[in-house]
Structure 1
Amino acid sequence: MRVLIIDDQYDHKVIAIAKKLKSLNCISVKHVLNAKDAYDELLSTKYDLLIVDIQIPESFGDDIDENGGFNFLELIYNDKEIDIPTTIVGITGNVDSYHSNVNKFNSKGWTLHLFDGATNFINEIIEGSLRRSRDEHKFDVAFITALRHTEFDSLLSNGMQWTELNIDDCNKYYSAIFFDKDGIARKAIATCCSSMGMAVAAATSMKVIQKFNPHLLIMTGIAAGVEGKVQLGDIIIADQVWDWGSGKTQDSESGIKLLNDPNIIEIDEKLSSEMKDISSKRLYVDRIKASFQGNTPQNSLSIHVGALASGASVLADSKTIDLIKSQKRTVIGVEMEAFGVVVASKLSGSNVTKSLIIKSVCDFANAHKNDNWQKYAAYTSTSVATEIIKNHINF
């Protein structure tokens, strides 16, 4: 384990901590005196543990900044060139400094320790750091889209600072930090499928779940809406999904007939209740529509929670929509991946990853189908999903 200590003095506090770290067989313990030297060190070396004093100068010869340690941590978290240490601990021997900073540290998911001369707390830090190192590929939220173009582009432009991960995999992965409704820092991972369809979506979802063990798996993107029930750009949050092509085909007097046998899967009841509350209160929708940079439909934007059907084909005929409506009259949308994502989530193991499908209407799967509203639909879907993870999920 590599440890970097930032403290403006090489005093009893630093000496005691360094001795304790070395007694625990840390590979390397480095001490720097100011924020600039620490920044240069983090640019050149990957550290597992960062211990920073609250009161440090910006550079050699500068006066002490009473909030220098916290300001430095905020700086490196917004710098894509820095490989952030797995564990970050603030430390101070000043009681007033501790009380004025502890809430700020906690809100970021960092630890602040009031040093009283004892070093036993280092054991807990090392143990926790090792545990987090083992869990560094665990994420709170995983995003998946079907299409790289439009859908995934919209996700990577959702205001979170996405960074590409160096993972040996045929998929490209991006990670970002966001803050949940309690102000706690959370980790998100995002990828897209190599092609459309339930099979690829299920395989990609299962791989993401196995690699990153997310609390929540979200698919965003575009879908066809059932005309008369939703409007262009409207967000559909699925509370039920099924494969509309499931069943048996047989000959009949009018030709080949599909005997439907759909397996309808429902999403988590608590999630569904929260989504319906968002919909009924019309949260976020007016602001999202107003913020889109481009043409928007004349209709107002709404969120609908309801039944979403998945199938193997891109649809552009109203007769197939009528067939799907005969399976479940309350269906409000049709697309090609949701059922695969939800099945993968349900089969993910004893610690089941919850799933949400959030897609927006880009057409009505009829003869007038076109791509005019795909960018807008991808934007509304992504925007609502981003608000949901920040303001409505209990992690």
Structure 2
Amino acid sequence: MTKILLLEDEDEKAEAIIGVINKYIDIDDVEIDRVVSFSKFTAILSISRFDLVILDLMVPMRDGDVPFDITDHVIELIRASNLNAKAAYVAITQHDDLVVARSRELAGLGIATVEYSDGAHWIPALEVSLQRAFRFQEHDFVIICGLPLERQVLQSTKAEIGKLFFRNGLNCLEIDIEKHTGVAVVLPRMGLVEASIATDKAIETFRPKLVLIVGICAAFEGRAKLGDILIGSPVWEHQAGKWFGNEFTLEMYQEPIPDRLDTIIKQEIERSNHFKDIKEDLKSLNDPEFFESKAMVAPMVSGSAVIASKDMAAMIAEAHKRVLGLDMEMFGVYRAAKRSVDHVDFFGVKVAVDYANEHKEDRYQRHGAIVASRVAVQLIPLILAQDGQTLK
């Protein structure tokens, strides 16, 4: 959903602008908030996030007042805005003197300035801004899923599920958790490379504060139990290193989750008694012992190949005496998030549904994926809360 804020006090001009928007973006894919005074514009811009802001430079301070030049106020407001710092801005005004006098200054803030008239010369400039807003929509979080099942089970959480859509080559699903907007992306295929590419694209497209990977994994037998909830940290790629003859030397490039997230997650594990409540309704559907497992922040490894060999698992486990889980994507997600230009927090939740040996089975996959998704949905609002907020 593309969210647009329109500041325009003249009805005829507002209708013309909205008409262009509705021709460019399907009416079901756009949400337009129109205000007619600068005071209301300031209020809504401070509490709601928008992908595109369209404004006139001559509007009243309050409804019914005489219009005045708000350019200086707009410049100050945008410079101070964190919530809408990444929105696209375009000023469409009938006052050509303002366009001439202030366009360079506004351009320095990334605000396009267009002279409005009864003709159509202003429309292409608006369409360029619409294209950018439609392609790059800001969301609070992105969930990466290696399997379709891992996204499907989000319907078994308290999250509000929206519609499927396709953006920049990504298979996306709208998902809201409390007041936070997000996107769940399913990879085209499993593996580290696909996870890294999709995460990088998702960060560029949706500009989230938080990226996480959610789903199922294998456990190292004797170290973790089936049903254990593993928040990977640190995570590394078990395939990175050097083969010399029959000997393999691992190059352990580790990625831990940020310290702030580590603290929040460990506190929530303690507070929730290992997320006990979110598993109660599942105990009658499968082996109850599977749901009596523990949650922990623990070392994990990733690799693009499925490990169904006890000997190979033992070799991987030798690299770290406390490594508990093995998956195919987590390190790729972490690495892409860590290397992103914008500061993006990241973590992963995986539930162990089998062991890294020859005895693979799928009886725990669905319920393990449900538990992982519920844990993620419980953690996301806590992590996105402001620093210093008390955890209840």
In structure 1, the partner of 2:146 is 146
Q: How does 1:260-299 map to 2 (within 5 A)?
A: 260-283=250-273, 285-292=275-282, 294-299=285-290
In structure 1, the partner of 2:331 is 339
Structure 2, unmatched stretches of 5+, are 51-60, 79-83, 91-129, 387-392
CA deviation digits over 1:178-231, x for unaligned, max 9? 32xxxxx32201111111110111111111111111111111011011233332
CA deviation digits over 1:116-152, x for unaligned, max 9? 633669988998786497656111101111112x212
Query: Is 1:358 equivalent to 2:349 in the alignment?
Result: yes
CA contact (8 A) 1:142 1:208 kept: yes
- Note the C-alpha offset of 1:262: 1.4
Query: Is 1:303 equivalent to 2:282 in the alignment?
Result: no
In structure 1, the partner of 2:213 is 219
CA contact (8 A) 1:3 1:28 kept: no
- Note the C-alpha offset of 1:283: 4.9
Distance 1:156 1:46, change over 3 A: farther
In structure 1, the partner of 2:381 is 390
Candidates 28, 42, 64, aligned match of 2:16: 28
CA contact (8 A) 1:2 1:46 kept: no
Query: Is 1:117 equivalent to 2:64 in the alignment?
Result: yes
Distance 1:219 1:384 in 2: 12
CA contact (8 A) 1:18 1:29 kept: no
In structure 1, the partner of 2:123 is none
Structure 1, unmatched stretches of 5+, are 6-16, 31-40, 49-80, 92-97, 180-184
- Length, aligned pairs only: 315
- Note the C-alpha offset of 1:321: 2.3
One-letter amino acid of the counterpart of residue 265, structure 1: E
Distance 1:4 1:348 in 2: 31
Distance 1:391 1:345 in 2: 19
CA contact (8 A) 1:234 1:380 kept: no
Distance 2:218 2:204 in 1: 30
Candidates 191, 200, 212, aligned match of 1:197: 191
Distance 2:23 2:285 in 1: 42
One-letter amino acid of the counterpart of residue 393, structure 1: L
CA contact (8 A) 2:6 2:35 kept: no
SS at match of 2:306: coil
Distance 1:107 1:214 in 2: 17
In structure 1, the partner of 2:31 is 85
Q: Percent identity?
A: 23
SS at match of 2:170: coil
SS at match of 1:196: coil
In structure 2, the partner of 1:379 is 370
One-letter amino acid of the counterpart of residue 274, structure 1: I
In structure 1, the partner of 2:243 is 249
Distance 1:88 1:302, change over 3 A: farther
Distance 1:90 1:324, change over 3 A: farther
Query: Is 1:325 equivalent to 2:313 in the alignment?
Result: no
In structure 1, the partner of 2:172 is 173
Distance 1:2 1:234, change over 3 A: closer
- Note the C-alpha offset of 1:362: 0.7
In structure 2, the partner of 1:314 is 306
